[in-house]
Amino acid sequence: MRKYGKIYIIVLLVIGFGSILPMTFFFADNEAIFMGLVNMMFAVLTFPFGAIAWTGGIALIFSGMATPSEAIALFTPLYVVLGYLQWFRILPAVYRCGRSSANSSV
């Protein structure tokens, strides 16, 4: 299970920080579209906890405080932490507790 957690963290970091370079230099005209695709990937990989980071990033962009690439750079670590906590800490603990209590009553 630890191996999958490390792979998950690496994939999210590569998607987040790796998308900034093409977004800024190669697809500068389509930065908003590219940012939307990256945010969609993050939303799928970290749902539902990733909604917290998504709302923060969207608020920064629409208020004009950050560009799309800056928002991705700022919120990628938050996506990584929230996704890791959800998929590799909280959900396994919930299912582990539910399974042990169901078996003890039988």
- How many Cα neighbours within 13 Å face the side chain of 94? 7
pLDDT of residue 99: 63
Q: Reduce the secondary structure of the chain to three states and give it as a string.
A: CHHHHHHHHHHHHHHHHHCHHHHHHHCHHHHHHHHHHHHHHHHHHHCCCHHHHHHHHHHHHHHCCCCHHHHHHHHHHHHHHHHHHHHHHHHHHHHHHHHHHHHHCC
pLDDT in tens, 34-69: 777 888 788 788 888 888 888 888 889 889 999 888
Mind listing the pLDDT tens digit for each residue in 67-77? 888 888 899 99
Task: Give the other-Cβ count within 10 Å of 53's Cβ.
Answer: 24
List the domain boundaries for the chain. Answer: 2-97
